[in-house]
Structure formats: structure tokens, C-alpha cells
Amino acid sequence: MKGITLAELRVLIAGGGTGGHIIPALAVAHELVERHSAKVLFVGTARGMEIRLVPDAGFNLRLIDVGPLKNVSLWTRLRTLLTLPRSIGDCKRLICEFEPDVVFGVGGYASGPAMAAALQLKLPTMIFEPNAYPGLANRLVGMKVQAAAVNFPSAATWFKSAEVTGIPVRPEFFHLQPRTGQAPHLLVFGGSQGARIFNTHLPQLIRPLLEAVPGLTVLHQSGVRHAGATQAAYAASGADPERWQVLPFLDDMPARFARADLVLARSGASTVAELAAAGKPALLVPFAAAADNHQKSNAEAMVNAGAAALLEEWDLAVPGKLQAALIALLESPQRLAAMSVAARAQAHPGAAERIADRLAALAHPAADSVQTP
């Protein structure tokens, strides 16, 4: 590859699929442009959220054809393995065309072939791993890359030269206004698409929950597809409609977090990072079908830190168990306060900046101390 100066920094960012992969990658990309005048190219697949989010953010995206290996049929896995050499070859051609100085893998379908191509071409490489237990693509190349940025210390053991940088989170989460008022407030958050398990179980317990916790109010994000049915189930429960609200989608999430005393949520990496940044105690219910059960690993890390409580999906089918867990937390302000402090201790401000600087240093070690203010 050509010799570079800091102003010529070129970074290839590979991976995608979910917002948990792409949104942090975009935050890093913006910092690369802002701090290091970098030229950034994304490589992904047509089946992931990158197809929309990357162009909308103003970055170029190239697509490769690569299939899944986890949680799929044997035939699909074999087909992916058979086409993998072609996917790696496509990435090699793309790399030779773009001439990146460093390749950054963020996980997801496209990350594996792109990182394999970069390693074969002996380019500097760095991995981003947001989960406590790494995904398959990252595990396969973890000890071969030059560096890694992780969110949980437990993930660092899978990589060479790993740094606990955290996950890029919107700055607003770190600067929430303190709670006002005495009545407790529960936020039920299932991610941008909602969580069917919350939509099913919360309406069944909302009336006794409100009766048990004086003044409690509940905001439930259901997802667009299930908003009508969830709202109807809440209404049919007979619970005081002045004390609950169902919305299909929540805007201004930092403000929603700020109002909550407790958050009932899944434990995807981005959600966990936002809870930590906001210093919010949580009752986490991991998505049981998540690849490698990584959501459970994320939740356990927060529980071990004293920042959250954990229920498995099957626990919600036990009559009264979710209700009892919520009441126990909501009726213990001292415990919630301690969990809040513990959650904030897991936060990592400035993650995107640190990752961008590490990428620049890998690409051009002699210039690692030169940064744009």
C-alpha cells in the first residue's frame, strides 16, 4: 500500500446487518472524518440495515454477496461456506481499488470476508465487538487482527491488543436531567421494532402492578406492527388509562430514559450501553434466539456489575414472576439508586473518538499523536 500522511487516511469499514452494528460504525466514521480528515468506505450486504443507514449518513457503500452461518439450516451454512472464497475475492478486489490504510470490522455478514481479505493482503486491521461474547465472524479472526475495541472486559480475551473503549452512544445520554417528582415511572423498551414478549405479558399484569405500586406510571414502546393490539390489550385490562401509555415508536430516547426510574428492556449491546451512559437501573430479559446467546452474556455482565436484574424469557411464563420482580425493584428506591451508580460505572464516554484515534494510529503509527482538536 502507498505511504500516507494523516490527511490521506483511508478507512474501510466492513460489516452490518443490524443497527447495533451500523450505528456505532457510523459514529466512528464521522469522528474519522472530523478528527482525521479521513476518506471512509463501507462494505456490507443488501440484506442489512446498512443499505439505508449508510447512504443516509452521507457515506459510500459497496455491497458483497455473503450468506449467514449462524442459526440457519445445514444447507444454508454449506452454501455460505462454498461461496465464501468468492466473497473474500470480491473484498480483495474492492480493497485494491479503494486502497485503505486500515480495515475496521464491526461484525455481521460482510465483516468476515472483508477482514479475511485484509489479513491476506497484510493490511492493518481492527475489530469492534460490542457484546460480552463475540460473534462468530469476530471470533474467527480475533487473534489475527492487530487491535480490537470492545465494550465488555470479558470480550477482550478473544482478541489481540484489545482495548475497552465502550460503544459509541449519543452524548445526550451522558447528560440527562435528574428525575423530578415522587411517583415512580417504568419505561418498557423493546428496541426499535418492539418486543413481542413484552407486548404479550405487560398488559396481563398492568392492572395489579399499578395497584401494587402507588402512583406508578408506565410508558410502553410496542413497535409499529403491534401497537394497535398492544394498546387494545392494555385497555382491556381495566387498568387506569391515565397511568399507562403505549406508543409504537419513541423519539428523543435520552429524554425518555431521563424520566424513568426503571427500564424493562432487552439486552442488546446498544441498549445496554445506553442504560450505562444514562445511569439507569434495568430489568433485562435477553432475547433467547440471539446468535450465540450474546444478549444473555450482556445481561449477566450488567447483573454482575450490580447495574441490573435478569429474567429469562421462560420466567415471564411463570405466573406472577415478572410482576413480583418489577414490584420488588420499584418499591426499593435505595436498590435502584445503587443500581444507577453501578450502571454509570459501566459507561464509556468518548468511545467513538477513542476508536477513531486508534484506527488512525494503526494506519500511521508515526502520526498517532497528531489529532484534530
Residue of 129, 53, 123 lying closest to 94 (CA atoms)? 123
Residue 133 has pLDDT above 80, yes or no: yes
How many CB atoms neighbour CB 71 within 10 A?
A: 11
More confident residue, 58 or 133: 58
Boundaries of every domain in the chain: 6-168+350-367, 172-345
Report, as an integer, the average pLDDT of 29-55.
Answer: 93
- Average pLDDT over the chain reads 89
| pLDDT at residue 223 in the model | 87
How many CB atoms neighbour CB 60 within 10 A?
A: 12
Instruction: Average the pLDDT over each of 81-90, 153-162, 280-289 and give the range with the smallest value.
Output: 81-90
- Dig out the grid coordinates for 116 from the structure: 479475511
| pLDDT at residue 315 in the model | 96
Q: Are 169 and 351 in contact (CB under 8 A)?
A: yes
Q: Are 139 and 132 in contact (CB under 8 A)?
A: no
Residue 177 has pLDDT above 90, yes or no: no
Task: Please state which CATH number belongs to domain 172-345.
Answer: 3.40.50.2000
What φ, ψ does residue 308 adopt, rounded to 5°?
-155, 165
How many whole angstroms separate alpha carbon 199 and alpha carbon 168? 29
| pLDDT at residue 224 in the model | 86
Q: Could you tell me the pLDDT band of residue 274, with boundaries at 50, 70 and 90?
A: very high
| pLDDT at residue 193 in the model | 66
Q: For the whole prediction, is pTM greater than 0.85? A: no
How many whole angstroms separate alpha carbon 41 and alpha carbon 56? 14
| pLDDT at residue 160 in the model | 84
| pLDDT at residue 82 in the model | 67
Its CATH architecture, for the domain 6-168+350-367, is 3-Layer(aba) Sandwich (3.40)
| pLDDT at residue 77 in the model | 61
* Burial of 250 (C-beta count, 10 Å sphere; 0-12/13-18/19+): middle
| pLDDT at residue 367 in the model | 56
Q: Could you tell me the pLDDT band of residue 246, with boundaries at 50, 70 and 90?
A: very high
How many CB atoms neighbour CB 2 within 10 A?
A: 7
Distances (CA, A) of 212 to 32, 35, 78, 202, 316: 51, 52, 54, 14, 18
